[in-house]
Structure formats: C-alpha cells, structure tokens
Chain A
Amino acid sequence: MAEGFNTARSSSLLVDKHVEYIKSLDKRQDELEYWMTEHLRVSGIYWGLVALKLLDRDSALDKQQVIDYILSCQNTDGGFGGHHGHDSHLLYTMSAVQVLAMYGALDRVDGSRVVDYVAGLQDAETGEICGDEWGERDTRFAFIAVAILSFFDALPRLDSDRIVEYVKLSMNYDGGFGSGPGGESHAAQVYTCLACLAILGRLDVVDRERLSAWLAERQLPSGGFNGRPQKLEDVCYSWWVLSSLRILGRVHWADCSRVCDFVLSAQDPDTGGIADRPGNVPDVYHTCFGIAGLSLAGFEGFPLKDVDPVYCMPVECIERIGLQSWINNVPRSWSQEKLEDV
C-alpha cells in the first residue's frame, strides 16, 4: 500500500465523499459492476438510503423517483424482485418495504398482497420460511418474514411458535446461530436470529452470556470483527456483531473506539465509500454497514442518527411507524441490568 494512501486516510468520517459516492452509483453505467448488480438494485437502494439517512443527507436521492421505481418492482404475486422484470424474493421484498417505510410511503403499496406473499412462504409442515417458491430455507428468511409482517401489523399470519422452534434448533454449542439446524455459527446469522426473536418478543430462548461472549470474541486486534473464528475481519461485521450485541444489551463488551478506527480506515479517500477492509474497493453494502456500525459504536466524530439494531433503519423511522416496541419485550432481567450497566 502506498504511503500517501495511508496518510490520506483520516480519522474523520468523509461525509461529503460518501454522499457523492452513493449518488454516483446510478451514474456508473460504463462499469461492469453496474450491470452485474442489476438483480439486487432494490437492495442497493436500501443500503444507500440507510447510509444517507444516518448521515442526515437523504435529500441526495430523489424521493419520488425512488418510490416509483421501488413500486415498479412489485410482481403480481405480491413480492418484489431485485429490479423490475425480476422474480420475487424475500430478500428484495424486505429491501423494498424498508425503503418505502423510510420514506413514509408504505401506504403506497397494497400491503395485503405483500402479506399474502410472505405468509405463503411458510412451510405448513415444518414452520420453516422459504426464500422463494423454490423452497430454499434459511434463518435469514425467518427474520425477514417476521420483519416484513411487523411493518403491516400482520404477525398473526405466521405460525410464530414454529419459527421460534426452528430458530432454537439452529442454536449451537457456542451460543451462536447458523443458517439452520446444524449450521456453523456466523455473526450475520446471529443477527437475523436475534432480530427475529426480538420482534416476536422471544429473546428469552437465547443463551445471553455465552452468545455475548462469543460475539465479543469476534473482535480482532485491528479493532474490526470477523464473522466466524479464524476468519478475517470485515467492515460489515461491525454491523452484524454490534447490532447483535445491542439487542443483547452488551455493546459495551466490545471496544467501540477500536471498531470506529477500523471502519474509518476502510474508507476510500478518493472515491468515497467504505470497503470490506482497508485498501480494498468500496461498495454500497459496506458503506451502509460501516456507517451503521459507527452509529452503534457511538462514533463521536459526526452526529450520526441512531440506528435501530433490529430493523437496520434510523430509530426515528422505526418510532414513527411504531415498531420500537421490541425494546419493551426483552426479558425483564435484561432491561434491569441495562439500566445499571450502560
């Protein structure tokens, strides 16, 4: 790495650069990356919008245009594809709903169709949630289904006891969660399981101490987190690990100032944007989760908006929609401890 690059890397958050970077994403049509990501454009907009909202710079995107575009990606089955003309998938349906919710535009979509689509993906026999009509299963999808229905106040449409049972079966001996029963613990899957349980008010099934310790152990000397033992650190785990620790009420078990340093060191001072680790090419996904991680870590160098650790959206949006109630549903013993310790 060139020395000049190192010194150019500041300890400050390059806000204007990041805003420009996100704005430029739909103008880079001469780049290979651009058309290769067509199938997840809806998610790309979600990542960009979360980053901008947390920076309080969401005016950088044309709200009306974005809403119209998102609506154009809804299919007749009620779900959303990653771009118009693409098949529905839970992942993109989640991103679409989150974008609309951040813009206060959920009333622009026929909620009952979305709800029907999501509810139809629960396997009546096992209670597992499929990602699409072809039946791929994953704890990620359990979280997404629960989260989407919570936006439309339709949680009773799912058999939530079965979902909790499935998530419990995916809990490992280290206290973490995998993508299904038997799957290795992975920080991103931990987040989805915790967020799912939080919305359902069932965090009581978690082995709080063991899981929190496992998550804290993910922090490496660089300050960054890895997602599994013996793997490299990556900026996106600043979000997956810290959001999980926040849900567990244990963010203070991480060394937050070192996380911030790590995320800042992965900024690209020339193009803007944040990469997976220092010196790599930035992308909108890591830009979003880097900034969200900074917000959770209590970064003091810029007044970032607070981010909700369950929905990965600004707290003010979650409050406006009335979904912050998950906080009141954490086990009693947790909330009491939080008052003393944090």
Chain B
Amino acid sequence: MRIESSESVSESVPLSQQEEWKDVTPIPQDDGKHPICPIAYTDEYREIMDYLRAVMAKEEISERALTLTGRVIQTNPGHYTAWMYRKRLVEELNADIAGELDWVSDISAMYPKNYQLWHHREALVVRLLDPKQATEEQSEAELLRHPVIRRELQFLDSALNEDSKNFHAWLYRQWLVRTYNIWEQELIFVNTMINEDVRNNSAWNQRYFVHLQGRNPTQVELDSELVSDEIVYAVENIKLAPNNESPWTYIVGLLLRHAPAKLYTELLPKIQELANDKDYSLAMTTTPFYWSALVDIYEKQARASPEQGKALIEQAQSICHSLATEHDPMHGKYWEFRNKSLSELQL
C-alpha cells in the first residue's frame, strides 16, 4: 500500500462526517475522577484523538488507522503511543517503506528535535537494506551508490544543513556509518563540515568517531602517522580561531588517550611556534585554551620524565597562577586546584 504524503490527508472534513469512519464510535478522553489532569483539546485534535483511542482499543490494523496516526503525530510529534501504534501498523500492513521514509523526512523537517522519528527511521532502513548482507556483499563505493544509502545521506545533508549541530542527526549519522561500514566517505564529510564551521564541536567529535571506527577507545592503538597528521590538522585549524575549544580538546584528548609522548615532542613545538609567530601571538597568548594545553603537556611530561620534572612543574604552576588571576578568572577555583595538585605531585 502507499503511504499518503502529509499534504494529501483530508484534514478539513471532520472524521465524524466521513463515510470511511462511519463504523467507528470515537472514545472520548476519560478523565475519570482525576481532575488533576482534565484534558481539553481543540475540536479537531480532540476528534482525531477520540478516533485514535477507538481504533487502538480494537487493535485495528488498517490503512485509515495509519493515516490517523500520521495526523496525530503531525500535530503532536511527542505522542509516544501514536508512534508505537504506527510502527506496528507499518509492519503489519507491509506498508511502502520508501513512502514511510519520505513521511518521516517531512516530520523531521517540522520537528528536528523529536526523539521518536530517528529510531523509527533506523528500523525502516534496516528493513530496506539488510546490514549484514549489504556489508558482506558490497564495497563502500557500491553502497554509496545504493539508493537506500544515498537517500539517507541526502536526508542527513539536509538535516545538518538546517542545524549543523543537531544532536539527533549526528547520532543517526553515526548509526548509519557504523551499520553499513561507510567510513571513508565519512572522513571526507567531516572535513567538509569542519571547513564550513571550525567551531562545530559535533564535527570534531565525529572526526574521532571516524578514526576509532567503532572500536573500544581503551583498546585501540592508533597508527603513529595518523596521529601525527591529526596534530598538524588540529594546529592548522587552531590557527583559524585560536580561542576555539573544539580542536584543543580534540587533539589534547586524543593524544592523552592514544599517544601521550607526542604531546611534548610534536604538539608542544607546533603551538609554541604559533605563539611566537607575530601573526598569531596575540590571539594565542590570550586564549585560556593555549595555556591550558601547556599545563596538560608539562604535567604529563613531568610525570614521564622526572629529571625535567621540577622545571616543568614550576612553569605549569606559574601558568595556573596567571590563568586564575588574569586570563581565566571565571574558572579561578579550577586553576587554583591544578596549581595545588602540581605542587603536591610526587615525581
């Protein structure tokens, strides 16, 4: 069967006057003796809700019930129970899944922050394209040409175009990439997103996601060359906006986890070089993120190499002091704490 697009539903004529609904007796909301929650509706919504309760009560599986859930959800996308019923209807009616996906796209354009639609979408896509079979039989290049994957990537493009930090859209994208093993295109996509907005933290997070490819971060060894390239990449982006939290957190965090030695040997010289470059020195030396990275690097190095330890700790402490008093007083308590912990460090 076809799924009607959101426009074509006859919304103007009340259901009570439609031939199709003659056999159904609507069930009005029973507020019982609980006046804490009397529900009052506008007439149209009350009517579709009364009919929804009626078809749900007899567990009707029909095309008209499907249309009805669509109207309820379109008016009130958070109506969890209507979604649950709709899922069942789509399944049992063997409804046209592509049409349902189009319908979900309309809903997500209207309500991008709704939770239910993304999960509904996942279930539909899996039914259209079995992940196990697809990944076993097709290469990434082939999958990228597959209409199902293409539609999902296009849908995500428009969702992220609308709001480049949409939490749900990014999560859905991770699901899609992981489920169908389309990692190579994802790095290209992430590069584009960071180029468009270097402050998009969701894109930086996605970058790490791509490098991990779904592996357990505590058990992964990242290729040394890849890590070095990431240092270069992060520093190039720091240049564009030194007071941008995302690349700093990304690169320091990645190195702390996967290549702590490179903090001192590779990241430090690069950011110091920037801080000494007359084009960047003002921006670098006035952002707390630069100083904060230095503290992390010096502390790590002091622990790794106790012979240099005392001098490094002293440098880190003086940075903490100036952050607390000068560069970042809002986080003064934090910097005082770092300062104190450094003084107590046993090398």
Report A's interface with B, CB cutoff 8 A. Answer: 26, 29-30, 32, 34-41, 45, 61-62, 65-66, 68-69, 72, 81-87, 89, 132, 134-136, 168-169, 171-175, 178-186, 209-210, 212-214, 216-217, 219, 221, 228-231, 252-253, 255, 258, 341
Contact = CB atoms under 8 A, between A and B. Distances in A.
Contacts of B33: 68
A168 B219 CA distance: 12
A217 B40 contact: no
A230 B199 contact: yes
Contacts of B38: 26, 29
A217 B245 contact: yes
B312 to A, nearest CB: 18
B141 to A, nearest CB: 23
A64 B75 CA distance: 33
A91 to B, nearest CB: 9
7 contacts: A30-B40, A36-B75, A39-B80, A169-B216, A169-B217, A173-B256, A219-B330
Given A182-B174, A185-B205, A229-B246, 18 more contacts: A35-B45, A39-B79, A41-B37, A65-B36, A69-B37, A72-B34, A81-B80, A83-B39, A134-B123, A178-B205, A212-B334, A213-B292, A213-B331, A217-B245, A219-B331, A228-B202, A230-B201, A231-B165
Interface of B is mostly: helix
Contacts of A35: 39-42, 45, 76
Contacts of B53: 85
B87 A134 contact: yes
A47 B41 CA distance: 23
Which of B76, B80, B123, B200 has the most chain A CB within a 10 Å cutoff? Answer: B80
Contacts of A182: 174, 178, 205, 209, 212, 214
A212 B236 CA distance: 28
Interface in B309-347: 330-331, 333-334, 337, 341
A41 to B, nearest CB: 5
A258 B78 CA distance: 34
B7 to A, nearest CB: 22
A180 B209 CA distance: 12
Given A69-B34, A134-B84, A182-B178, A173 B250 contact: yes
A36 B123 CA distance: 26
Interface in B268-301: 292
Contacts of A82: 80
B78 A36 contact: yes
A229 B337 CA distance: 23
Given A87-B80, A173-B208, A229-B246, A186 B254 contact: no
Given A132-B84, A173-B249, A213-B334, A183 B36 contact: no
Given A228-B165, A253-B337, A39 B36 contact: no
B171 A180 contact: yes
Contacts of A86: 80-81
A255 B331 CA distance: 7
B324 to A, nearest CB: 12
Contacts of A61: 36
Contacts of B79: 38-39
Q: How large is the interface on B (under 10, 10 to 19, 20 to 34, 35 or more residues)?
A: 35 or more
Interface of A is mostly: loop
Contacts of A34: 39-40
B30 to A, nearest CB: 8
Nearest to B330: A255
Nearest to B76: A36
A268 B274 CA distance: 47
Contacts of B216: 169
Nearest to A223: B330
Nearest to A179: B171
Contacts of B39: 29, 34-35, 38, 83
Contacts of A89: 80
Interface string B159-173: 000000101001100
Contacts of B78: 36-37, 39-40
A173 B36 contact: no
Nearest to B251: A173
A74 to B, nearest CB: 13
Which of B30, B37, B218, B256 has the most chain A CB within a 10 Å cutoff? Answer: B37
B51 to A, nearest CB: 14
Interface in B115-151: 115, 119, 123
B249 A214 contact: yes
A229 B212 contact: no
Given A184-B205, A219-B330, A174 B249 contact: yes
A42 to B, nearest CB: 9
Contacts of B253: 172-175, 210
Contacts of A209: 341
A250 to B, nearest CB: 8
B219 to A, nearest CB: 10
B32 A72 contact: yes
Given A29-B39, A66-B36, A228-B165, A252 B331 contact: no
Contact of B119 (A85, A134, A214): A134
Interface in B151-210: 165, 167, 170-171, 174, 178, 199-202, 205-206, 208-209
B257 interface: yes
A89 B116 CA distance: 12
A216 B119 contact: no
A66 B30 CA distance: 16
Contacts of A172: 205, 208, 253
A215 to B, nearest CB: 10
Nearest to B199: A230
B84 A87 contact: yes
A134 B91 CA distance: 13
Contacts of A84: 30, 32
A131 B67 CA distance: 26
A86 B45 CA distance: 16
A229 B201 contact: yes
A213 B245 CA distance: 12
B331 A253 contact: yes
A146 B86 CA distance: 30
Given A29-B40, A38-B39, A39-B78, A253 B333 contact: yes
